[in-house]
């Protein structure tokens, strides 16, 4: 597996099936990161850099952008398979805020696998991102990844992937 940080390492070729859990990965955020993310995306919303404004809005500090949550989910969803895999869909729903400096832990479970043509397959992952301060879920999501079929667990002869 890759030695890169920020990607789950639990999945192994030939093992994926509905119910397979990927190792959780923790993403440390910071005020500097949230600022750079706003700068890189030209996001001028004060909630991400103006602490007084965030306090006046009822939050304990500046907030992590919803797309930064999305970037963590996208990275998590495909990191384990590397360049062999391709993220085809990502849906996410922001349920609670996270403040800059929060540690966000993403976990994922395979909910479905299906075989496609030409030795390819599709895996659906259910994703959740929790914040360290109280363990509450900030974001839930679902990802679809297209990858070589040999990542899936062996099927009984004539069997089809769970869908």
User: Considering beta carbons, is residue 55 or 160 the nearer one to other proteins?
Assistant: 55
Q: Where are the beta strands (DSSP E) in 78-119?
A: 86-94, 103-115
Which DSSP letter does residue 84 get?
G
Q: Does 88 bind other proteins (CB under 8 A)?
A: yes
Tell me, rounded to whole angstroms, the distance of Cα 9 from its chain centroid: 13
By CB under 8 A, name the one of 93, 136, 150, 163 that touches other proteins: 93
Q: Does 92 bind other proteins (CB under 8 A)?
A: yes
User: Considering beta carbons, is residue 15 or 93 the nearer one to other proteins?
Assistant: 93
Rounded to a whole number of angstroms, the minimum distance from the CB of residue 107 to other proteins is 18
By CB under 8 A, name the one of 19, 26, 50, 60 that touches other proteins: 50
Q: Does 1 bind other proteins (CB under 8 A)?
A: no
Q: Which is nearest to 125 in space by CA: 84, 89, 83?
A: 89
Distance (Å, whole) CA 135 – CA 56: 25
Rounded to a whole number of angstroms, the minimum distance from the CB of residue 122 to other proteins is 13
Q: Which is nearest to 94 in space by CA: 71, 75, 69?
A: 69
Distance (Å, whole) CA 105 – CA 121: 27
Q: Does 67 bind other proteins (CB under 8 A)?
A: yes
């Amino acid at each position: 597996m890759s030695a890169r940080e920020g990607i789950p390492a639990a999945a192994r070729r030939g093992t994926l099936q509905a119910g397979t859990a990927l190792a959780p990965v923790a993403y440390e955020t910071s005020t500097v990161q949230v600022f750079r993310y706003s700068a890189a995306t030209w996001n001028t919303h004060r909630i991400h850099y103006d602490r007084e404004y965030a306090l006046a809005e009822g939050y304990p500090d500046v907030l992590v952008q919803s797309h930064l949550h999305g970037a963590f989910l996208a990275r998590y969803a495909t990191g384990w398979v590397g360049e062999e895999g391709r993220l085809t869909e990502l849906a996410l729903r922001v349920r609670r805020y996270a403040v800059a400096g929060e540690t966000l832990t993403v976990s994922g479970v395979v909910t479905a696998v299906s075989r496609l043509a030409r030795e390819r397959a599709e895996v659906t992952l259910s994703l959740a991102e929790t914040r360290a301060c109280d363990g509450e879920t900030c974001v839930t999501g679902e990802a679809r990844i297209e990858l070589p079929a040999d990542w899936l667990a062996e099927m009984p002869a004539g069997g089809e992937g769970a869908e």
